[in-house]
Structure 1
Amino acid sequence: MLCGIDEAGRGPIAGPLVVAGAIINEKVEGLNDSKQLSEKKREKLFDEIKKKCSYHIVFTDAKTLDEKGLSTCLKNSITEIMEKLKNEASEFLMDGNTSFGISNLQYKIKADATIQEVSAASILAKVSRDRYMCEIASDYPNYSFEKHKGYGTKAHIEAIKTHGRSLEHRFSFKVKGIDDQNQATLF
């Protein structure tokens, strides 16, 4: 059995990194790269994937990303998924261009659009992260996390300029227009 692995949240300036692994046990129709699907379609597929797949989802918070670095956090998340699903999967395939030095991990660019198991993992990771950002939005009303999900939109950068970074922000990620002016402060 193949376990597909993908992540969401590698590039945002706020929120967690979310990595998911999925093994398809029953056919799921309509799978694709999560970025190619509407939010409504992702939400529908998310529930179906959870019913028809074995899966594991790993969240890494912004503070840990700052302390350990993105590559280490990705590697640790992938390793956790492989450990949790090792009794069900004989192969592990990650979307992307590296194995992060993990033996027995295959990788393929654009696997999230071409390999069903990786598509399922892509949807699990994206929907889990998006839901988290919507859930915390009321705790940080100045940032509108429910709208941009932590990505560096113009409105988000303006909010950081006005209010500083929150505890959900990644301090190690340099933001053009802020860090070059030394205006980033802890909120």
Structure 2
Amino acid sequence: MTTGSLFPMAEFRLIAGVDEAGRGPLAGPVSVAAVILDPQRPIAGLDDSKKLSEARREALFPLIVERALAWRVEFVGPEEIDRLNILQATLEGMRRAIAALQPAPELARIDGNRAPKGLRCSSETLVGGDRLDPAIMAASILAKVSRDRAMVALHAEFPAYGFAVHKGYPTPAHLAALAQHGPCPQHRRSFAPVRACLEPR
């Protein structure tokens, strides 16, 4: 079941918040996190990951991991993004993350307006959920921090592109490096700026 309005909280005990990071970049994976918070172990300072400093996100990450009843981060890589398209790849990452939670959620509350099909639990979408729901906030932090760390690791492998700085987003510096060096294996070839570098001139 998918809806744009919240289910009454009393109907469900185990509610997973779900969010992603990295739909817009030209390179690297899209990261999806699912989190079931423990109401007995609240976490102060949760917010939309985009509103938090990097230092604050890094400080909250271990607290979420330690106190959550369950959490999971899934990466969907460039090849799968190119094969499925970015929307379907994100939904597939959500499906995997939710399916991996133990204990299993009774409800998945997903940031945005699309939910994956084939879930074994109820689901609802919540536009702006990363500003409204603590579990989605926690998921947004896990997804963002995990992806940023992955891009820093990729920088060591492909230093010419500056992944550690821009995290794969289409900044002027990234576009210039892409034009100079061409795409690396971590670039999403279905994205227009990368595809343009592969076309005959």
Displacement of 1:69 in angstroms is 1.6
Aligned partners of 1:75 and 1:102 also within 8 Å: no
Counterpart amino acid of residue 149 in structure 2:
R
Displacement of 1:183 in angstroms is 3.3
User: Structure 1: how far apart are the matches of 2:188 and 2:106?
Assistant: 35
Q: Choose the corresponding residue for 2:63, options 33, 48, 55.
A: 48
| TM value normalised by structure 2 | 0.85
User: Structure 1: how far apart are the matches of 2:117 and 2:105?
Assistant: 19
Counterpart amino acid of residue 53 in structure 2:
S
SS in 1 for 2:159: coil
**Matching residue of 1:33:** 48
User: Structure 2: how far apart are the matches of 1:117 and 1:169?
Assistant: 31
**Matching residue of 2:187:** 169
Displacement of 1:101 in angstroms is 4.1
Aligned partners of 2:49 and 2:57 also within 8 Å: yes
Which ranges in structure 1 are unaligned for 5 or more consecutive residues?
none
Q: Choose the corresponding residue for 2:144, options 118, 126, 145.
A: 126
Aligned partners of 1:31 and 1:120 also within 8 Å: yes
How many residue pairs were aligned?
Answer: 181
Aligned partners of 1:16 and 1:61 also within 8 Å: yes
**Matching residue of 2:11:** none
User: Structure 2: how far apart are the matches of 1:3 and 1:172?
Assistant: 31
Which ranges in structure 2 are unaligned for 5 or more consecutive residues?
1-13
**Matching residue of 1:96:** 112
Moved more, 155-164 or 85-94: 85-94
Displacement of 1:67 in angstroms is 1.4
SS in 1 for 2:20: strand
**Matching residue of 2:7:** none
Matches within 5 A, 1:2-41: 2-25=15-38, 26-41=41-56
Q: Choose the corresponding residue for 1:148, options 160, 166, 169.
A: 166
Matches within 5 A, 1:34-113: 34-53=49-68, 54-85=70-101, 87-102=103-118, 104-113=122-131
